[in-house]
Amino acid sequence: MKRYPFRKPLLSVALVAGLATSTFGIPSSSFAASQVETSALTKEDQKIVQSVNVNNIYSHISRLSSQPRVAGTPAEYNAVQYIQQKFSSYGYNVQIQPFTFEAYVPPTTLSLDVKDDNTEYTPQYLTYTGNGQAAGELQYVGLGTEDDVKDLDLTGKIALIERGNISFAEKVLNAAKKGAEAVIIYNNEDGELNGTLGGANDAYVPALSLPKDVGEKLAKKLQDGETVNAEVTVEGSKLETRTSHNVIATKKASNQKKDTGEIVVVGAHHDSVEGAPGANDDASGVAVTLELARVMAKAKTDTELRFVTFGAEENGLIGSTKYVDSLGQNDIFRTRAMFQLDMVGSKDAGDLVMNTVSGQPNTVTDVAGDASERLNGEQTPYGQGDRSDHVPFAEVGIPSALFIHEPTEPWYHTPDDTIDKISKEKLQDVAEIVGAGVYDIAKIDRLTQNVKKPKPMKNVSKEVQDVK
Ligand code: BES
Ligand code: ZN
């Protein structure tokens, strides 16, 4: 864990500013006079540290995490309105960017009945399963690879397949190609199997999953030569067109003469998964974004700042992809850096890292790493990671990074992702590092102090295109 009590600069700024107390308690015994190094902080860092109020961040999280915010639902729109209203109240020009997407709707009916068997089966669906009713003999198909099915005729049968080696989608397609009416995949480890076929496909037959012990019992019967007849029903699995929204708050460069023409984006996603209040994922990122917008509202910059919250991240980075798609070539070229804040406040997660899609450092990790060094006396490490809204930016060559604590907390995507698991210290730390990093790029005349001109747009690399 980070040694927060040794956050020298916070103390030093508090001293410089003559503040009696900092936002949250720091044991005074942790500080020797020799540790106080005001010189490490730029005046812009000091402004950030003095202005960030972690209680504002906490209160945004509290408000946003009062309910799950599934993309395309009224609850997500309610969050959008809250965010818009906050940005507007700080004096930003706010744009709401609507977009449609195909949301997956789970089956309304899902059942497995096995003849002459009084076990009550409670299968799970594989996301994007086909619909239908299938009655037939169960056939054990091993791992369901092409090789496993090559000599089989599964016409009229229900394939029983073990998890492992190849994707669920490949298993289902291999069995369906051989005529299977339905597919049951059972787990190869303890616990429920909540899998996805990755996307809709008309070739999918009804596909459901069972826990390891339940699946193994059925497999054993078949391997012992027993005939097992079963019936599978899946109804209501479908895609539905829904509307989600991005919220975009813009502040132009303060001084037209010095305007570099560059843009810096700070982003987070406001949607959550079904059933999860998403206090950390990602009300935390939205709340820090809002607070940085408030803190930077009157800052003198030679760079345009955009604070953006994205919708439908959990459905496949859809809002951020729409945002990037809506940028002209010129705006893509002008966007100098993108800071993505996702899961930045959990007490139960590890330390802060900055993940880039390539795993290589870039402008974002450089400036935030240096900010962290000035603020905390150590560089925030960077690593490789996609899985969030920085990806579409990286794909068009915009230097971007995901700020996240790793390893992630056990409450990720569960109903327990609630405000009581949020650490104010972590929020404050991330807000300071990102705020100071952003300000370092955006402050007036930064280009003449440290010449790092934007690079021409790179071609999307193969590696990036393959990110799912
Ligand atoms: N906040 C997570 C991303 C995340 C979680 C990154 C854990 C690293 C560790 C994000 O909201 C999420 O769940 N993303 C999806 C991917 C997306 C393309 C649907 C994921 O990781 O499953
Ligand atoms: Zn997230």
Q: Which ligand is in closest contact with the Cα of 403?
A: 1
Distance between CA 194 and CA 171 in Å, rounded?
A: 15
Q: Whose CA is nearest to atom 3 of ligand 1?
A: 387
Q: Does the beta carbon of 71 lie inside 6 Å of ligand 1?
A: no
**CA dist 254 → 260, 299, 304 (Å):** 11, 8, 8
Q: Does the beta carbon of 389 lie inside 6 Å of ligand 1?
A: no
CA of 281 from ligand 2 middle (Å) equals: 4
Distance between CA 215 and CA 315 in Å, rounded?
A: 30
Q: Does the beta carbon of 383 lie inside 6 Å of ligand 1?
A: no
Q: What are the residues facing 208 on neighbouring strands?
A: 125, 184
CA of 412 from ligand 1 middle (Å) equals: 9
pTM: predicted TM-score of the whole model, two decimal places: 0.82
Q: Secondary structure of the chain: what % helix, strand, coil (to 5)?
A: 35, 25, 40
Distance between CA 213 and CA 241 in Å, rounded?
A: 38
Distance between CA 426 and CA 203 in Å, rounded?
A: 47
DSSP 112-140: EEETT------PEEPBTPPPEEEEEEEEE
Q: Quote the pLDDT of residue 29.
A: 35
Task: Return per-residue pLDDT of the chain as tens, 468 residues.
Answer: 333 333 333 333 433 443 333 333 333 333 333 344 556 999 999 999 999 999 999 999 999 999 999 999 999 999 999 999 999 999 999 999 999 999 999 999 999 999 999 899 999 999 999 999 999 999 999 999 999 999 999 999 999 999 999 999 999 999 999 999 999 999 999 988 989 999 999 999 999 999 999 999 999 999 999 999 999 999 999 999 999 999 999 999 998 888 999 999 999 999 999 999 999 999 999 999 999 999 999 999 999 999 999 999 999 999 999 999 999 999 999 999 999 999 999 999 999 999 999 999 999 999 999 999 999 999 999 999 999 999 999 999 999 999 999 999 999 999 999 999 999 999 999 999 999 999 999 999 775 444 444 443 444 333 332 222
CA of 37 from ligand 1 middle (Å) equals: 38
Q: Does the beta carbon of 313 lie inside 6 Å of ligand 1?
A: yes
Q: Does the beta carbon of 104 lie inside 6 Å of ligand 1?
A: no
The owner of tokens 């009581």 is 420
Distance between CA 205 and CA 229 in Å, rounded?
A: 18
Of ligand 1's atoms, which has the minimum distance to the CA of residue 391?
A: 18
Q: Quote the pLDDT of residue 446.
A: 73
Mutate to test the pocket of ligand 1, among 387, 393, 412, 464 (most ligand atoms within 8 A of CB): 387
Given a contact cutoff of 8 angstroms between Cβ atoms, the answer to whether 377 and 6 are in contact is: yes
Q: Quote the pLDDT of residue 39.
A: 64
Q: Whose CA is nearest to atom 11 of ligand 1?
A: 314
CA of 185 from ligand 2 middle (Å) equals: 28
Q: Quote the pLDDT of residue 37.
A: 56
Q: Quote the pLDDT of residue 345.
A: 98
Q: What is the DSSP letter of 286?
A: H
Given a contact cutoff of 8 angstroms between Cβ atoms, the answer to whether 274 and 65 are in contact is: no
CA of 388 from ligand 1 middle (Å) equals: 6
CA of 163 from ligand 1 middle (Å) equals: 22
